[in-house]
A and B are shown apart, each in its own frame.
Chain A
């Protein structure tokens, strides 16, 4: 589905991604983990074409994405920090996004309802709280029923109720065999959803395997503990990890 070959990206002299090789298949849900500044967001943005890698190739369905844009039809993206035109009302925002994609008639507005965004529709985007903005980002990511979901820190800033709503939605979508890439520091939130783990450290992939293998390997039953053990064993310093 998605394959990255020797993807390298420099920001000035800083090597953010260093020859990243990664294969991601449909039906799987990948947890993209790593400390701050390890290149998670850069990796995601490279797949989206927002960041242009200095070398290497990214292929989606065997098509090189460099310079392409139509492949983004299949991608729903929820950014880490949702930035929206400040003076736009929420209703106008959704209307605009739908107006830009007239090819999708049957939009998925379930999250708008279950997050309770309808009563806020006439609010301007600048007046929304960070959490509400996250909800808008999530609703936009699901709106066009994409096949690939890329969620950057989806649960950060959401209240526990909203996290549950999002999780349930993810589990339901997962059943239809779609591909998910999720980055998060809050590992407990991901427990029931992820099937695979990719660990990024200083711009390169240090660990990539199915969760089940990880659990047997580390002899831990919980996902979060297994990761903690793994990081300790491999001496990959990570400080902001939340363990139970």
Chain B
């Protein structure tokens, strides 16, 4: 598996996209730090970039990578290697290279501007989102044999989690605003990794007061030891379930 991981990493790096992504994140971070001297505000702006760009890049890159390495997978399948380790080494290769570019892309400029501690929660959330959307990308790829269709499914996932879900959530809150909605919104936000990431971030920045009563309620829950554990566990779950589902399908698919 580690041997295969080496070849997957070589393959990913040869595409140079990951390098481009890293440079892009570096540029954005540097520009934002130069525009504003308050690290807290920079992190807020960066958060919006991370919440949109990281999922999109992760899921689309994964889907394209999967179909581009189809030949490689085909070649491995004729060798005494089991499908599970082929799949997991693909996942590890893609996820680790994207995580590393994000870490360097945000971490390095932040370090240069002396704001490493402030961006730490942001990087944490970004790494989680990367792993989650790489999982979802593999899930999209395993659902169909057609590259264009898989990219379509991947984009749909992205739209759903970043836009459509929030729309539904707002509608629910609006429609049922006569009722106490704290617990239902808490549950509903946990069901979307992007929302969960946003809340984890906002609470770490101590600006939850801006969110009113619900914010206070969220702070009460997510700020507690159990809440932190809960949010981490939920994020972990979001990494695992699409990955396991994709693995199950990959084991059964005909090549």
* B residues at A contact (CB < 8 Å): 3-4, 6-7, 11, 14, 69-72, 74-83, 252, 254-255
Q: For window 50-64 of chain A, which residues contact chain B by CB distance below 8 Å?
A: 50-52
Residues in A neighbouring B77, C-beta threshold 8 A = 48-50
**Among A52, A71, A79, A86, which residue has its beta carbon within 8 angstroms of that of B80?**
A71
- A99 CA to B6 CA in the complex, in Å? 10
Residues in A neighbouring B78, C-beta threshold 8 A = 48, 50, 72, 75, 77, 79
Query: Beyond the given A69-B82, A79-B74, A83-B75, could you list 8 further A-B residue pairs with CB under 8 A, ordered by the A residue number?
Result: A45-B255, A48-B77, A50-B254, A70-B80, A85-B71, A85-B72, A100-B79, A101-B80
Q: What number of residue pairs across chains A and B have CB atoms under 8 A from each other? A: 59
Tell me the minimal C-beta distance from A8 to chain B in angstroms.
14
Q: Given A85-B71, A96-B7 in contact, is the A72-B80 Cβ separation under 8 Å?
A: yes
Q: Given A48-B77, A69-B82, A72-B79 in contact, is the A100-B252 Cβ separation under 8 Å?
A: no
Contact of A84 with B by CB under 8 A: yes
Which bracket fits the contact residues of A? 20 to 34
* A residues at B contact (CB < 8 Å): 11, 45, 48-52, 69-73, 75, 77, 79, 83-87, 96-97, 99-102
Inter-subunit contact B252/A52 (CB<8 Å): yes
A selection of 23 A-B contacts at a CB cut-off of 8 Å is A11-B254, A50-B74, A50-B78, A50-B255, A51-B255, A52-B254, A69-B82, A69-B83, A70-B80, A71-B80, A75-B78, A83-B70, A83-B71, A83-B75, A84-B71, A85-B69, A85-B71, A86-B71, A87-B14, A97-B75, A97-B79, A99-B3, A100-B81
Tell me the minimal C-beta distance from B7 to chain A in angstroms.
6
- A100 CA to B78 CA in the complex, in Å? 12
Residues in B neighbouring A69, C-beta threshold 8 A = 80-83
- A49 CA to B70 CA in the complex, in Å? 16
Residues in A neighbouring B3, C-beta threshold 8 A = 99-100, 102
- A66 CA to B51 CA in the complex, in Å? 43
Residues in B neighbouring A51, C-beta threshold 8 A = 254-255
Residues in B neighbouring A87, C-beta threshold 8 A = 11, 14
Residues in B neighbouring A83, C-beta threshold 8 A = 70-71, 74-75
Residues in B neighbouring A71, C-beta threshold 8 A = 80
Residues in B neighbouring A85, C-beta threshold 8 A = 11, 69, 71-72, 75
- A242 CA to B81 CA in the complex, in Å? 38
Tell me the minimal C-beta distance from A183 to chain B in angstroms.
15
Inter-subunit contact B254/A84 (CB<8 Å): no
Residues in B neighbouring A75, C-beta threshold 8 A = 78
Inter-subunit contact A101/B79 (CB<8 Å): yes
Tell me the minimal C-beta distance from A19 to chain B in angstroms.
19
Inter-subunit contact B255/A100 (CB<8 Å): no
Residues in A neighbouring B252, C-beta threshold 8 A = 52
- The listed residue with most B CB atoms (<10 A of its CB), out of A52, A86, A96, is A96
- A52 CA to B3 CA in the complex, in Å? 26
- A185 CA to B221 CA in the complex, in Å? 70
Residues in A neighbouring B74, C-beta threshold 8 A = 50, 79, 83
- A113 CA to B80 CA in the complex, in Å? 25
Residues in A neighbouring B70, C-beta threshold 8 A = 83
Inter-subunit contact B254/A100 (CB<8 Å): no
